A and B are shown apart, each in its own frame.
Chain A
Amino acid sequence: MSRSGKRTWGKTTVGVLLTGIMLFPVYWMLNVSLTRDQDMRKSPPDLFPVHATLSGYRTVLEEQLPYLGTSLVIGLGTVALTVVLSAPAGYALAKLRPRGGGVLGFVLLAAQMIPGIIMAMGFYAIYLQLGMLQSVPGLIVADSTLAVPFAVLIFTAFMSGIPGELLQAAKTDGAGPWRTFRSIVLPMSRNAVVTVSLFAFLWSWSDFIFASTLVNGGAHEPITLGIYHYIGNNNQEWNAIMATAVVASLPATVILVLAQRYVAAGVTAGAVKD
Chain B
Amino acid sequence: MSHTTRVPHRRPAPDHSGAAGAAPAAPPPARRRPSSQQWAAWAFLTPVTLYLVLFYAYPLYRNIDLSLRNYTVRSFVQGDAPFTGLQNYRTVFDDPTFAPALLHTVVFTAVCLVFQYAIGLALAVFFNQHFRLSATLRALFLVPWLLPLIVSASTWSWMLNSDSGIVNAVLHAVGVDPVNWLTSPSWSLISVIIANIWIGVPFNLVVLYSGLQSIPAGLYEAAALDGAGPWRRFWSITFPLLRPVSAITLLLGLVYTLKVFDIIWIMTKGGPAESSTTFATWSYQLGFGNLLPAFGPGAAVGNLLVVAALVFGLVYARVQRKQALS
Interface set of A (CB-CB < 8 Å, partner B) = 7-9, 11-12, 14-16, 18-19, 22-23, 25-26, 28-29, 32, 41-45, 47, 84-86, 88-89, 91-94, 96-99, 101-102, 104-119, 121-123, 125-126, 141-142, 145, 148, 150, 152-153, 156-158, 160-164, 176-178, 181, 188, 190-191, 202, 205-206, 208-209, 223-224, 227-228, 238, 241-242, 245, 248-249, 252-253, 256-257, 260-261, 263-274
Count, chain B residues at interface, CB 8 A: 115
Q: Are B150 and A208 in contact (CB-based, < 8 A)?
A: yes
B186 within 8 A of A: no
Chain B, 208-239, contact with A by CB distance < 8 Å: what is the 0/1 string? 01110110000000000000000000000000
List, in ascending order, chain B residues with CB within 8 A of A181's CB: 44
Of A9, A84, A121, A223, the most chain B CB neighbours within 10 A belong to A121
* A119 and B302 alpha carbons, distance in the complex (Å): 11
The stretch from B56-64, B89-97, B100-108 touching chain A is B56-64
* A223 and B147 alpha carbons, distance in the complex (Å): 11
List, in ascending order, chain A residues with CB within 8 A of B166's CB: 28, 44-45, 47
* A142 and B59 alpha carbons, distance in the complex (Å): 12
Q: Are B137 and A19 in contact (CB-based, < 8 A)?
A: yes
* A223 and B146 alpha carbons, distance in the complex (Å): 12
Q: Are B45 and A89 in contact (CB-based, < 8 A)?
A: yes
Q: Are A106 and B24 in contact (CB-based, < 8 A)?
A: yes
* A253 and B27 alpha carbons, distance in the complex (Å): 42
Q: How far is the CB of A164 from chain B (nearest CB, A)?
A: 8
* A102 and B201 alpha carbons, distance in the complex (Å): 30
List, in ascending order, chain B residues with CB within 8 A of A14's CB: 126
Q: How far is the CB of A247 from chain B (nearest CB, A)?
A: 11
List, in ascending order, chain B residues with CB within 8 A of A25's CB: 144, 152, 155-156, 159, 198
Q: Are B150 and A224 in contact (CB-based, < 8 A)?
A: yes
Q: Are B151 and A89 in contact (CB-based, < 8 A)?
A: no
Further pairs besides A89-B44, A93-B45, A108-B22: 12, Cβ < 8 Å: A18-B123, A22-B144, A43-B163, A96-B38, A104-B49, A110-B306, A110-B310, A113-B310, A249-B147, A256-B143, A266-B210, A268-B7
B21 within 8 A of A: yes
Instruction: List 4 tightest A-B contacts by C-beta distance, closest first.
Output: A122-B59, A98-B41, A96-B41, A105-B22
Interface set of B (CB-CB < 8 Å, partner A) = 1, 3-11, 14-15, 18-27, 31, 33, 37-38, 40-45, 47-49, 51-52, 55-56, 58-60, 62-63, 123, 126-127, 129, 131-152, 154-156, 158-159, 161, 163-166, 169, 172, 198, 201, 206-207, 209-211, 213-214, 241, 244-245, 248, 251-252, 255, 258-259, 261-262, 280, 283-284, 287-288, 299, 302, 305-306, 309-310, 313, 317
* CB-nearest residue of chain A to B206: A263
Q: Are B44 and A94 in contact (CB-based, < 8 A)?
A: no
* A257 and B134 alpha carbons, distance in the complex (Å): 12
* CB-nearest residue of chain A to B22: A105
8 contacts between A and B (CB under 8 A): A92-B40, A94-B15, A98-B45, A101-B45, A102-B27, A142-B55, A268-B210, A272-B20
